Structure 1
Amino acid sequence: MPSRDNVHVLVARYLRDNGYNNTLEAFKEELGLEDDMIPSDHSITLESIIEQKRLFDLSQELDAVTLVDDENDKWHVPYPGFKSVLPKQSPESNILSVSVAYLSMPISVDDSSSSVSTRPCIMATSADRSLRIFDFYTFDLLTVYTHLHSSPILTLLVLNESTLLTGGMDGRLVVSNPATGDVIAQLKDHMKYLVRIACSKDMRYLATAGYDKKVHAYSIENMGPDVPTIGFTRIGTLSFPTNPEAIVFVNPEEDNTTDSTPPQLVVSRRDSTFLYYYKLFPVLSEAARHNLNPDSNSWVSFCAMDIVLDPAESKFLGVATSTMPHMRFMLLESGADTIMKSAFTKAPQDTYSSARICWRPQGSGVWCNGDDGIIRGMELSTGNVVVELKHHEGKVKAMFAGIVDGREVLVTGGFDKTIALWELEKR
């Protein structure tokens, strides 16, 4: 059966939906199309393609226009532009996620029972089910774990130097000690892929999103670097008609909040242009929803594939959309309907892409992945792509941006089976 973005299917669906029945019958006969080959899925239409092309052309024309005249939003220089490639490991496999964090790891690479030291490490998961941990400075492979999940690890999150959370295609959430690989706790609340893990800033709440169309919210018990066990109390479960794609905790919208006020959970899902806000207490319930398509053009179909809270003020949300043929970046204040910025990133993507963005630590811009292997740096003030980092061949699936020893770094991983570390200076 032809795919839903097949040109002939798009034309046939357009003829059918607009009542051009005689032309449709002639078109079907000419091409040998059957009725069951023309789906009712309207996520991609001729109108949406034309509209997105119009918007993209408009964004190209406005490339030189400044969206906000704020020096703090100018692209910060220097930026990570010097590349080091980590040694390839055997077996080579597609990189699915990367991160950098300070971990308590054995001092001796060859002796896991040796004393430990806390130092920055690069973590990477790949399609061969492995979790690999590298020394940030030497690129030495400190350890490889393949026992944590029965299938590839899709997402990871470091709670503290001795506590690591991973989510896999097996639907499990696993808590482990990165130094030993010991499994501290695990949950099997998802029936399909666990694709996202989010933790609140105060480390008191956790959420997971899965392709079983569910999001679970938990409170974290007994969490601390010296606590041998960790527990989760489920606050509630959200069920959706389509798969959730992104989750993030934000400060509540109310003005009368304190440091002890529980955060709200923001969720996006496939085939919906809304961001959904949920209160955790007294029960997990919807508090608000905000439309990323305020003009309500029914033919414009996209969703938020990634939602990232800004690192400077923790009040603005950067959003990467599923828009085709190029990713679109949006900026909005958490809890508000107004879209402060909207710009195309020039990053190519299709139906099967996973749009990802990472904030630069100063908040001056974001890094965007792309199916062409290029990492693009977008300046916040103008919405312009001002930097292109080229190394990967094929899709860039994973990115991490942050500060290590006071210096800004970027780590990227892709379907070319390589991991690149980008720094401010050449090693």
Structure 2
Amino acid sequence: MDGLVAKYLKDKGYTNTLVAFEKECDIKHEPVTIEELMSYLPKMEKKDDNVVTEKDVTLTVLTTKSKNMIVDTKLINGHVITTDSAKNLTFYDSSLQEIKTLTLPAVGRVIAAGANNTTLVGCMDGSIVQVDSEYKTSSFKPHARFVGGISVSEDGLIASIGFDKKVVVTKQTGFEQMAFIDSLTNPTAVAWTHLGLAVSREDCTSIQLLSDQLEKIKTIPLVDAHYMPHSFTVFDMVYSPQSKEIACLTSHTPYARVIIVKSDESVVSFPTLIPQDKYSLGRLSWLDSKTLAIAGDDGSVRLFNQSDWRKITVADSRLRCISASDGYVATASIDKEVELIEIQSLEDEVAQLKIE
């Protein structure tokens, strides 16, 4: 240990301190001795956690302008579906031509795909509106305040979170409420996984896994001890049934971090160049079993396959939301614009997006 301290003093140029230290400890400063002492330490993996490189990719971007601020957008069954600040729910085809517009009871906060070819919309009044394939609507109200997230299981169970600090599970058939729990802080994201229902909440560095009766199964810490000793919030969380991985986007500033819970429950944290501030929303979506599509405040979509980053500029302003499906990525920016790009138009060797 004395040799290691001596090496530190020498490397830092603290010559006088080094001489005094050698006298006090009665050690002889010889490089060979110090190197020998260093050899007893375990080899540490060298990793520069702050180096991220992105490759710019140019794609054709289809756009359409809305009269109102877009709140959320989703790709469901080949349609681009949006909600806006005027309580409209609008369906577009793959060329962004409007198909149908419905009026919601309140502003739609989140959109999700439901069972049996339905669309679910969580609204600001705490209700969830179901729209079937013939655009007929029905609704129920699981929350007292606005709905912050929706996830539907393979068994047709709707898990929802609200700003009433509640997590609620409801059967989609008949809208029968099965269970609810109160959270300490507002839940921020929810997703059904092979491990159970994953729920994140404000200022919490872990995700809770719950049963369909909302009984606690386990807690998965997301903190990477060598990097993140402080608190953060999971802005968004999405699950890939193919890879059985849970991807989380955090509230870190000035750049977000992507945290992925692997199928074996190991946790990997990735730095990014996605700019964020205290007003950011942070949204991501699985494009395929390996690739994430992430919305950025700089108007760009980042594609990340856990090794390479691709950056696609789609708008001139901050992106509010993102959804990826079947080779397409849909976004909406704060300048009231909906954007759609086709990822399949990228060559495999350039984009490295398709499964080998």
TM-score of the superposed pair, with normalisation by structure 1: 0.65
Aligned to 1:85: 62
Match of residue 248, structure 1, among 177, 180, 191? 191
Deviation of residue 266 (structure 1)?
Answer: 0.8
Aligned to 2:314: 391
Aligned to 1:143: 100
Aligned to 1:421: 340
Aligned to 1:272: 204
Partner AA of 1:93 in structure 2: N
Equivalent residue runs for 1:370-381 within 5 Å: 370-380=296-306
CA contact (8 A) 1:80 1:422 kept: no
Deviation of residue 310 (structure 1)?
Answer: 2.0
Aligned to 1:198: 151
Q: Could you give the per-residue CA deviations for residues 320-368 of structure 1, whole angstroms, max 9, x where no partner exists?
A: 11111111001112572x31x311221111223111111221x332111
**Counterparts in 2 of 1:329 and 1:194: CA distance versus 1, 3 Å:** same
CA contact (8 A) 2:287 2:324 kept: yes
The structure whose RCO (Cα within 8 Å, separation 6+) is larger is: 1
Deviation of residue 161 (structure 1)?
Answer: 6.5
**Counterparts in 2 of 1:81 and 1:122: CA distance versus 1, 3 Å:** farther
Partner AA of 1:124 in structure 2: T
Aligned to 1:44: none
Aligned to 1:32: none
Which segments of 5 or more consecutive residues in structure 2 lack a partner in the other structure? 1-46, 347-356
C-alpha separation in 2, matches of 1:335 and 1:414: 36
SS in 2 for 1:307: strand
Partner AA of 1:266 in structure 2: A
**Counterparts in 2 of 1:80 and 1:136: CA distance versus 1, 3 Å:** farther
Aligned to 1:219: 171
CA contact (8 A) 1:345 1:378 kept: no
Q: Which has the larger radius of gyration?
A: 2
C-alpha separation in 2, matches of 1:161 and 1:299: 44
Partner AA of 2:114 in structure 1: L
Partner AA of 1:398 in structure 2: C
Which segments of 5 or more consecutive residues in structure 1 lack a partner in the other structure? 1-56, 65-74, 103-119, 222-230, 253-263
Partner AA of 2:101 in structure 1: V
Q: Could you give the per-residue CA deviations for residues 276-299 of structure 1, whole angstroms, max 9, x where no partner exists?
A: 01112xx42111001111539895
Q: Could you give the per-residue CA deviations for residues 103-156 of structure 1, whole angstroms, max 9, x where no partner exists?
A: xxxxxxxxxxxxxxxxx322111222211111224x32112112x222x21111
Aligned residues: 298
Partner AA of 2:190 in structure 1: I
SS in 1 for 2:50: helix
SS in 1 for 2:176: strand
Deviation of residue 159 (structure 1)?
Answer: 2.2
Partner AA of 2:258 in structure 1: F
Match of residue 302, structure 1, among 226, 229, 232? 232
TM-score of the superposed pair, with normalisation by structure 2: 0.77
C-alpha separation in 2, matches of 1:269 and 1:334: 22
C-alpha separation in 2, matches of 1:100 and 1:60: 33
CA contact (8 A) 1:326 1:345 kept: yes
Deviation of residue 375 (structure 1)?
Answer: 1.3
SS in 2 for 1:245: strand
